[in-house]
Structure 1
Amino acid sequence: MAVFWEKLMDSQQLVQLGVLIFGSLSVFILIFTVTSLSKEKEVEKRYSKAIESRNLRAPRNEATERGAGRKQAVADTLSSIDNEKRKNKRVKLYVRLKRAGVNMSVQTFYTLSLTLGVVCASYAYIVVPTFSPVIFFCIFIVAAFGIPSWILAFLFKRRQAKFVDELTNAIDIIVRGVKSGLSINECIAIVARESAQPLASEFNEIVESHRVGMPIPECFERLCTRMPLAEVRFFSIVISIQQSSGGSLSEALGNLANVLRSRKQLTAKVGALSAEAKASAAVLASLPLIVMTLVNFTNPDYLVPLWTTFLGKFMLGAAAVWMLIGCVIMRKMINFKY
């Protein structure tokens, strides 16, 4: 076995393998980027053509002018929300902490993250002191920046799920309150008092902001920033249009509640249909690590060249890169957008 690894070290296969791996990775990234940009441009062209053809076919009279004005208001609101979303693609850390419901300052978060990185790198050095400094540095980077970011994303998604579960009930409360003669402000205050977390705290932010003079539509726009969900955007659009154009708020919110219930049912159906694919992806992602662990226990000398030779370490790094690419591709395949 050792002779085999020495022959590989003396040959040109190391250079060829490196060129093949990084060349393929570069081509993959280039194709993925070009495809994403072309799809976005194609969608924008179709959207603009549909709007132009609809404007050309629509007859002009007083009723259509009023309908066109309301549609234009909805389009303007959607456009402003989309522009705000594009501006906030790179969200600041304190906003991410607030979204995740973590009551912690940015300085404390960075301190804990760096401490976690130092602890993990030190533990790896104690367990396997023969690793190169590059590996310890990579462990520090992953533990200090990757794991805390993953934890924030996990807490944020869990908080979003709880918020969406309570949002339909909150809209029903507002509809009943408006029908009974209460104002929208009083209905929001009732939701803030009676609902469960995290919806209660978010609506309490709306109540407090409105008390200091902020308009209701702007309060809901800030809610969209704290909770960037499609359901919250729909809610904000309904409130904004009603405040600017008038109309029956109870009827609009009732229709929105029905839409959100249908959307929730669709989410559950998609989750059930994609459960098998997610399980298969988890098995495929964990299988190489499981096999390596079993081989290491049954025949430890078989994998020694992977840890002690330069070619072995290079192959481990290349395998890790391709495993990461495979996990990203499988994740994009099983995460459905609807």
Structure 2
Amino acid sequence: MSAANLPLAVGLVAVAAGAVAYVALNPLLSGERRAEQRRRALGQSTAAVTERTNAANRREHVAKSLKELEAKKDKTKVTLELKIARAGLDWSRKKYYVVSTLVALGLGFGVLLVSGRPLVALLAVFVGGLGVPAWILKHLQKRRIAAFIDELPNAIDVVVRGLKSGIPLGDCLRMISREAKEPLRSEFRVANEAQALGLPMSEAIQRMYERVPVTEVNFFAVVIGIQAKAGGNLSEALGNLSRVLRERKKMAGKIAAMSMEAKVSAAIIAALPFIVAFTTYLSSPDYISLLWTTAIGKIALAASALWMGLGIAMMRKMINFDV
């Protein structure tokens, strides 16, 4: 390079270096980088505030929904028609009264033929008219609820798989009302019919709790109601609910197995006085007949029955657990 072009080359290099330095240092000197950092921090803080606000609103919706469900549950009046529906029967009030009357008359007539005492027969009429039908309804309700709880997790899994496949919730519930086992099929059919008449799905599921008053159905109604009001991933929530219900079922089975020994012991202890009294009556009827032929014996029988009833109730309370 000639000496004449040397100053020109140096000048060009100096200009290029100055341009590079200006590009590199200008954001720092002018505060643009700090401004960009502040804008990013502001954007992140705004997103965090928005997320916290949404979470707070969702918690508020959840709490409100739970309070509404609890209020509706407390206001539910258990009528005779509701008891019959919980038992899975399609009887009317008139048919129930007719059946109760027939049971009362049949039991009273049978006791009258066996004992020959009108007073005892009259007591049997009251027991047959008021106690036996109510016990039958209670027994049928427990059996129906047990069958419902056994099949509910499977039905929830069907809903979860349907939602993940893109099927609407209403179609999933209609699928259950067609293909599930009883009593799920009839209960979900009632919910679908209520929805077809204009009732929201969350309200229809909440009414299911009136006919099947168990915690599992209340959980299902809470999930559907909260999703309808606060939004969220319904398939994930129902999947978690299905796992919880299955774990509750496992826990109930473990508790039943662990308390079976105590239950058998309680049954043996409760049956032992009757077995001893029966064997004593077979060997010495005159000796044990003093218990119901004398005043002191009757008092002893009544006191023994009272204490034995208290003991059975206490043992039942100790070996029964709510899961």
Q: Which band: TM-score by shorter chain?
A: 0.7 to 0.9
Q: Which moved more, 1:320-329 or 1:157-166?
A: 320-329
Deviations 1:206-250 (A, max 9, x none): 111111111111101100111111111111111111111111111
Deviations 1:279-308 (A, max 9, x none): 122222222222222222222222323333
Question: Residues 149, 287 of structure 1: CA spacing in aligned structure 2 closer, same or farther, 3 A cutoff?
Answer: farther
Partner of 1:234: 219
Partner of 1:87: 75
2:162 to 174, 177, 184: 177
Task: Quote the offset at 1:62 in angstroms.
Answer: 4.0
Deviations 1:184-224 (A, max 9, x none): 11110011111111101100011111111111111011001
1:295 to 246, 267, 280: 280
Give the aligned length. 276
Partner of 2:144: 159
Partner of 2:115: 128
Distance 1:174 1:298 in 2: 65
Q: So what's the TM-score if we normalise by structure 2? A: 0.78
5+ long unaligned stretches in structure 2: 1-47
Distance 1:323 1:118 in 2: 31
Distance 2:89 2:279 in 1: 39
Q: Which moved more, 1:217-226 or 1:281-290?
A: 281-290
Distance 2:216 2:181 in 1: 18
Question: Residues 126, 292 of structure 1: CA spacing in aligned structure 2 closer, same or farther, 3 A cutoff?
Answer: farther
Distance 2:293 2:109 in 1: 20
Deviations 1:292-333 (A, max 9, x none): 222222222223233333443343333333333332222221
- The alignment status of 1:113 with 2:100, answered yes or no, reads yes
Distance 2:297 2:102 in 1: 31
Question: Which residue identity is paired with 1:126?
Answer: L
Partner of 1:315: 300
Partner of 1:76: 64
Task: Quote the offset at 1:111 in angstroms.
Answer: 2.8
Question: Residues 75, 297 of structure 1: CA spacing in aligned structure 2 closer, same or farther, 3 A cutoff?
Answer: farther
Distance 2:126 2:318 in 1: 28
- The alignment status of 1:260 with 2:260, answered yes or no, reads no
Q: Which moved more, 1:143-152 or 1:60-69?
A: 60-69
Question: Which residue identity is paired with 1:86?
Answer: D
SS at match of 2:289: helix
Question: Residues 317, 142 of structure 1: CA spacing in aligned structure 2 closer, same or farther, 3 A cutoff?
Answer: farther
Distance 1:247 1:186 in 2: 19
Distance 1:263 1:179 in 2: 25
Question: Which residue identity is paired with 2:97?
Answer: Y
Q: Which has the higher contact order (CA 8 A, sep 6+)?
A: 1
Question: Residues 75, 212 of structure 1: CA spacing in aligned structure 2 closer, same or farther, 3 A cutoff?
Answer: same
Larger-Rg structure? 2
Distance 2:148 2:135 in 1: 20
Q: Is the 8 A contact 2:153 2:242 kept in 1?
A: yes
5+ long unaligned stretches in structure 1: 1-59
Q: So what's the TM-score if we normalise by structure 1? A: 0.75
Distance 1:140 1:329 in 2: 30
Distance 2:56 2:285 in 1: 73
Distance 1:71 1:269 in 2: 34
Distance 1:103 1:118 in 2: 23
Deviations 1:260-294 (A, max 9, x none): 11111111111111111221222222222222222
For the aligned residue pairs, the C-alpha RMSD in angstroms reads 2.2
SS at match of 1:274: helix
Distance 1:245 1:132 in 2: 65
Task: Quote the offset at 1:104 in angstroms.
Answer: 1.8
- The alignment status of 1:305 with 2:290, answered yes or no, reads yes
